[in-house]
Structure 1
């Protein structure tokens, strides 16, 4: 049943084109879209239309409500008849068939091309593919502004949710010290067995029983927890990617290029993310970071949610708030404000509405940071680099996030590496540059390297 909370502009529902429609995000978005009377899925793009059709069946979309289309004329006819057009080729996206593109392929080259095409066709873009955003988001946002269009990160993923939290906290007038999110998976410790778990990985780590309290020395406890959890994989390129997006829109940078990644409980965040001079981990204010949530069985998860650390100001006010259960540091000087959720496509219709109505307050991004790759072992010329798996891993390469001015101008963004081949040996510990690569998407590189060079259109030829 549709709700009465319409996202209407005038009498017509907002027509949404969704690329990567058959993925996990696509499912959650389409499930929610079926409940909103002011929006409709006009065009769905996915390579596997058979699988997409099965998903639509399971979501309750009737077979009569959609049609597989083989050319642009079919797309326009289907949408004009009130049906959803299913296409396997983004080149068939007819501009008059939709109002807003939600890009969710997760493929950096494909997503960039689709977003640029939509902007060329005077259509707004909601970017869910954070991989695209980390490389070309600044450029795409500039193209959108130059044409009077909106380009927004999609709510439901951590970057947009964190930006909304930052916007609210800034408007309130609080002084922000750090922002971030929890890693995707929790470290769950069972004191009765001494076993720690992360997804399907289980290890006996009885020493964690003595580390459940942060104690007076934050750095010592955090280091001890990291050592106890050393067998678990707690960082992922996807985390760095999300923080790169946040950095683009806020100007915050990392405190260290591999981030702190403390194993922490939410009640401790205001103590951990204090400045080092005040007993915390941070060398400076204005940083992005990620933590691994430590919890006991049955305790609620942070669910990959977002946090902001602020200076409190008036001690009496925050002592009152602390008594009400808010997270305030032991010295009363810092507080943590957080949202323990990110609901993927369930929240994304809000971004679609904001893009269409022009009501978003997301600032213009800039390339404040670079998400880059560093060789973890000696890599030989001829090695083909592949971004693989849910965590976006590249064998032999570790992601890191650094201020742009701290890196050479030819540093290759991490997601440019996927599919490229090394043309020379790269020693362990060396940052990979574009001069090390062959077979990368040159248009992506130009968009990253010269993000403010406008205009650029999808109709220009690749070099």
Structure 2
């Protein structure tokens, strides 16, 4: 709770925190909108495949022309990451291979990394985090995004002496969503294709949130950062409102739906018949706590926490997340405290590619949110055993044999280029005991 005094001291000393932003999309633009209002924080360079688009993004979020002209714009993220005078690099492209490449460039150059790119983090994050630690720099989750917010809640719970029974987020989910493609995604968002196009909304990107892929990726990131377990059968997406979190997200042995304490799970804002869940958590995050003793359990009720029927389990939640508007928290923690706002520490969860329909040999996989595969959460152990193809590599690769709908695609099913840097990093992850 002392970030602003620390930042003020840097500002007064004429040493502002200088940032390189890679990727000026929605997340990056939300961060840029806040920068002019945080004295002592400067974005020195913005990298985007279209630098003019990045300039336009700055105008759209309210930057004045003087600030725009004082900022450098480049097309190469690695170039931006290696620039002199930069302390923190924000990787916000959403592209796994590019994200890993940019993170490595930043780490090599001695810069802290804020990894908005959770896709890259789940694909090879433990390797990147290990290299950052060896280089003496911070490798951090992005505050404002749900994995970092959940990690903060888990850390708080453990630091105050509670067992974490469950942690995760809410989303809009029905089982049929796993088969949705970009062609019909907007009907589930209540939009027409024309309205979505006018708003600049990418159907494949938004479909990755709907078809379960983003949930799988984000829960894998939380498991890897917090040492939590992953359901053997993947996410169940139980329909649960905030009042029932502690009742449902507790072990089966005491009447809940989890295999044991210490699990990640996503709750749905829709009942299975499509009706809205009462007091849903669609935009928020939660943690379910287990009291260490009867005295603490009594305090749960005394101080208004919603508990289960035993009184031993209680839930805390945050009903929203503000994404890029909160990202400066990660930047400032890295620069001023040398601390991450959540960080990958081990490999416990993975997001595997699963066939949306019967796929035939010769077809090309088209990445998350597309027409061919979606991401399913798996224990990392199980993923390694079956050689599951991570969703982060399921892009532009050809199937060498048929895969039935609902089946996990394996590395043996596709023609991967083992010489690619991102594939080599992934193989390093798979070969390491975490």
Range into which the TM-score falls when normalised by the shorter chain? 0.7 to 0.9
Cα 1:33/1:303, change in 2 over 3 Å: farther
Normalised by the length of structure 1, the TM-score is 0.77
What does residue 262 of structure 1 align with? Answer: 238
**Are residues 1:7 and 2:10 paired?**
no
- CA separation in 1, counterparts of 2:359 and 2:276? 42
Residue 348 of structure 1 is aligned with which of 318, 327, 332? Answer: 327
Q: How does 1:218-297 map to 2 (within 5 A)?
A: 235-293=211-269
Farther-moved stretch of structure 1 (54-63 vs 258-267): 54-63
C-alpha offsets along residues 2-22 of structure 1, whole Å, 9 cap, x if unaligned?
x9666356421111111111x
Q: Is 2:431 the counterpart of 1:426?
A: no
**Map 1:374-389 → 2, pairs under 5 A:** 374-387=354-367
Q: Could you tell me how far apart the structure 2 residues matched to 1:315 and 1:162 are?
A: 26
Shift of 1:426: 2.4
User: Equivalent of 2:349, from 357, 369, 385?
Assistant: 369
Secondary structure at 1:365's aligned position in 2?
Answer: coil
Larger helix share, 1 or 2? 2
Q: What are structure 1's unaligned runs of at least 5 residues?
A: 68-82, 187-196, 202-232, 455-463
Is 2:156 the counterpart of 1:168?
yes
Q: Does 1:200 align with 2:187?
A: no
Answer with 420-429 or 156-165: which moved more: 420-429
Write the deviation string for residues 382-419 of structure 1: whole angstroms up to 9, x where unpaired: 111112xxxx3242424222222223263221111112
3-state SS in 2 of match to 1:380? coil
Structure 2: how far apart are the matches of 1:449 and 1:123?
25
Deviation of residue 263 (structure 1)? 1.1
**Inter-partner Cα distance in structure 2 for 1:329 and 1:450:** 43
Larger radius of gyration: 1
CA distance in structure 2 between the partners assigned to 1:298 and 1:265 by the alignment:
6
Q: Alignment RMSD, CA only?
A: 2.9
Identify the range of structure 1 (317-326 vs 344-353) with the bigger mean alpha-carbon deviation. Answer: 317-326
- In the TM superposition, 1:78-227 aligns within 5 A as 83-93=70-80, 94-183=82-171, 199-200=189-190
Q: Distance in 2 between matches of 1:184 and 1:117?
A: 36
Deviations 1:3-55 (A, max 9, x none): 9666356421111111111x111111011111111211111111233332223
Judge conservation of contact 1:158–1:304 (CA < 8 Å) in 2.
no
What is the CA deviation profile of residues 152-172 of structure 1, one whole-angstrom value per residue up to 9, with x for unaligned ones? Answer: 011000111111111111000
User: Counterparts of 1:376 and 1:116 in 2: how far apart (Å)?
Assistant: 33
Superposed displacement of residue 364, structure 1? 5.2
Distance 1:177 1:4 in 2: 34
The answer to whether the 8 A contact 2:78-2:106 is kept is: no
For residue 438 of structure 1, what is the aligned residue in structure 2?
415
Once residues 404 and 101 of structure 1 are traced to their aligned partners in structure 2, the CA distance between those partners, rounded to angstroms, is 28
Cα distance in structure 1, aligned partners of 2:377 and 2:276 = 33
Rounded to whole Å, the distance in 2 between the matches of 1:402 and 1:301 is 25
Measured in 2, the distance between the counterparts of 1:239 and 1:298 equals 18
Q: CA deviation at 1:423?
A: 2.1
Report the TM-score when normalising by structure 2: 0.82
Residue of structure 1 equivalent to 2:196: none
The whole-number CA distance in structure 1 between the counterparts of 2:280 and 2:355 is: 33
TM-superposed CA distance for 1:443, in Å, is 1.9
Give, in whole Å, the separation in 2 of the partners of 1:137 and 1:96: 25
Moved more, 161-170 or 56-65: 56-65
Unmatched segments (≥5 aa) in structure 2: 175-186, 192-208
Q: Deviation of residue 276 (structure 1)?
A: 1.0
Native 8 Å contact 2:366 2:394 kept in 1: yes
**C-alpha contact 1:315 1:333 (8 A) present in aligned 2:** yes
Which segment is superposed worse, 302-311 or 141-150?
302-311
Equivalence for 1:52 = 54
1:250-270 alpha-carbon deviations (Å, 9 max, x no partner) = 221222433110111110010
